Structure 1
Amino acid sequence: MENLINYDFIKNYIEDLTPETDDFMKSLEIFAYYNHVPIITKDTRRFLQIFLKILKPKKILEVGTAIGYSAITFAKILPEARITTIEIEEEMFDLAYKNIKKAGCSDRINQILDDARNVLPFLETTYDFIFMDAAKGQYTEYYEPVKRLLSPGGVLMSDNILFKGMVANEELVPRNKRAIVKDLMDFNETLFKDPDFETSFIPMGDGVALSIKKG
């Protein structure tokens, strides 16, 4: 219990110190909150602002656009980067299209409306940074196509890999989440065992994995 209390205090402390976004991004955060649309957490956003400035990727691939919050964040951090983002739900795709246009990023963000499993095998370019934040139960299916698309020295960032801690404690897993959690556990193990990657897990947000492709 003490560890949980300490964690909550630490999380709140860090979030209180984290600078706020601009008014437009704040409006997206409010929309996401009230409409139950998952977007990156405050601490993950701040991490990306620092990490991407260090990495300086020129080409970014995102699997899972939602309302466009992450893609716009990438575009704001890296004005020279080109971003491709894939979304399966038409409603989310349309919302993201409007948001990306309002943000003035349409010329740098290429949206694709389709199931990522249909798209990834046919993409021909390679990317310096790939952000995976789509259906958690399909991460293992995305893995090999995404790995192929990542440049040597590039970084794969996989979001929500701890799934509210359920991957670490089976007692926390409700029956209707067992398949998703099992898939995530398999994915996490694959990441760590893959000799082509160096991977580290960060207990930030709902957990992120950073994987550097060797080569």
Structure 2
Amino acid sequence: MAENTEISVPNHVAMIMDGNGRWAEQLGKPRKYGHEEGMEAVRRVTIRASERGIKVLTLYAFSTENWKRPPQEVHFLMQLPIRFFDRFVPELQEKNVRVNMIGFPEKVPASTKKAIYKAMEETKDNTGMILNFAFNYGSRAEIAKATQAICQKVVAGEINVKEINESLIEQHLFTESISPYQDVDLLIRSSGEQRLSNFLLWQNAYSEFYFSDLLWPEFNGDVLDEALLSYKNRQRRYGAV
């Protein structure tokens, strides 16, 4: 694979990790086996992203719509962060990676939240890449929540309606926690599906898309490099000529 100097490195890469269940079913194994292997793919991609100098890696770990899945699968998915951080925080520390979470924590089981917040606390002083988990996250709900917060400030007389602009809205989105890298530069999705699935709709306004036919457990650092090399050849015009 090409050396780092040959790769154009975006500040913020976001990934929709799709295909764990299908990968397991192709092997005649239960879906949870795919999610287990998907956790290893997270580790591989995170380490390579950190080595490449990416500032923020946002992973769509659990959506607000994923609660519709069978209860047994949801329970297993809720256990994955506990197992992931218990196993990999020392390596994240070694790589100077800081853990962050965006989403709605209210519905997340206490043990899962505890594991995520513990990892965030343990890595809070790290100055390298931000590993940003979108957990119980939905973009439409995020934008609605931001709108409610802004409306409350208008009603309270703290701001005027005319002061509402893109910058103010961004300050009320979950991704304010990863400022100044809120906007996604490169969105990567596995499994051949080509849709956003309610993921960072605002933040992806001008991102470049990269779709891979590989299922998520098949992802590794080399696949990430292929996406970065594709990104290097894009021309980002932001509406200009």
TM-score (norm 1): 0.39
Which structure exhibits the higher relative contact order, with contacts defined as CA atoms closer than 8 Å and separated by 6 or more residues? 2
Greater C-alpha Rg: 2
Normalising by structure 2, report the TM-score: 0.36
